[in-house]
């Protein structure tokens, strides 16, 4: 499965996906307001073949949205706002699935300064409240950005990002959650 952002029709960009060469693209996002969707990230659960997509979505500001497909990308469920309840804008989402089938999304958030947060898609079909892995970002001009998220064979979740906590240059830092 591949996914991308493309302009179609009236000039706004949407998220599309295709599961094989020559197949017609399927629209993943369900925005009806004519706003732009960008920066898609895909993850797959290797045990169930469930596909997960997350992207930047401009309806209502800059938010991170999420959808899943259980049929190889032929259809996608209704979009969910990952950062619902956050007051700022969200950008650059990255998704991963752990060995237990948990889906995690990390993204840049501006609610309390410039920081990286991550959240887990739960059994109720919503996202847990986002956690900020940095104890410094968002305070005193310290900015965290460009998140990445990964898991290992034990289900440990790792979030990495760039941060300027040691001065004007950025360092790559990470946190682990179990």
Bridge partner residues of 172 (DSSP): 162
* pLDDT per residue as tens digits for the range 49-102: 999 999 999 988 899 999 999 999 999 999 999 988 898 999 999 999 999 999
Sheet holding 26-27, edge to edge: 2-7, 13-18, 26-27
Compute CA distances 85 → 12, 42, 106, 129, whole Å.
Answer: 25, 23, 16, 9
> Domains in the chain and their CATH numbers?
37-177 (2.120.10.10)
Tell me how crowded residue 167 is: count the other CB atoms within 10 A of its CB.
Answer: 7
pTM (global) more than 0.85: yes
Say if CB 38 and CB 56 are below 8 A apart: yes
């Amino acid at each position: 499965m591949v996914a991308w952002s493309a302009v179609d029709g009236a000039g706004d960009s949407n998220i599309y996906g295709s599961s094989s060469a020559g197949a017609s693209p399927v629209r993943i996002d369900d925005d009806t307001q004519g706003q732009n969707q960008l920066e898609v990230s895909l993850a797959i659960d290797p045990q169930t073949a469930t596909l997960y997509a997350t992207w930047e979505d401009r309806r209502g500001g800059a938010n991170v949205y999420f959808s899943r497909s259980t049929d190889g990308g032929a259809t996608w469920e209704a979009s969910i706002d990952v950062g619902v309840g956050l007051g700022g804008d969200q950008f650059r989402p990255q998704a991963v699935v752990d060995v237990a089938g948990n889906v995690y999304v990390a993204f840049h958030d501006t609610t309390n300064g410039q920081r990286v947060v991550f959240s887990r898609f739960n059994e109720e079909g919503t996202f847990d409240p986002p956690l900020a892995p940095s104890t410094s970002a968002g305070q005193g001009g310290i900015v965290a950005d460009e998140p990445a998220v990964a898991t290992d064979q034990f289900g440990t979740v790792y979030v990495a990002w760039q941060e300027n906590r040691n001065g004007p240059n950025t360092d790559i830092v990470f946190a682990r959650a179990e």
